């Protein structure tokens, strides 16, 4: 299945997922760790270990960048 991933503030990317892939696999496919993002479907978060059931998700990065010099 092809899934469109909208990373909030960074753009969209389409990825291919298998029948047994989870939302954590989708997140990894676009280059992020499941620990640094939340996956949203229709505005509600979904567990990262849930099998992929939709063709469009939003990914909200919870951790971005590092500390800035003062």
The pLDDT value given to residue 32: 94
Cα 70 to Cα 52: distance, rounded to the nearest angstrom: 42
pLDDT band for position 60 (cuts 50, 70, 90): very high
Strand 56-61: give its sheet, edge to edge: 11-16, 2-7, 56-61, 37-41, 44-45
pLDDT band for position 65 (cuts 50, 70, 90): low
Cα 68 to Cα 14: distance, rounded to the nearest angstrom: 32
Q: What is the pLDDT of residues 36-59, one digit of tens each?
A: 999 999 999 999 999 999 999 999
- What pTM value is reported for the model? 0.85
| Statement: 2-61 belongs to CATH 3.10.20.30 | yes
């Amino acid at each position: 299945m092809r899934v469109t991933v909208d990373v909030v503030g960074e753009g969209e990317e389409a990825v291919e997922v298998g029948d047994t892939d989870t939302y954590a696999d989708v997140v990894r496919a676009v280059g992020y760790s499941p620990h640094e993002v939340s996956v949203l479907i229709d505005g509600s978060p979904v567990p990262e270990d849930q099998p992929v059931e939709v063709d469009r998700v939003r990914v909200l990065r919870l951790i971005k960048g590092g500390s800035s010099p003062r």
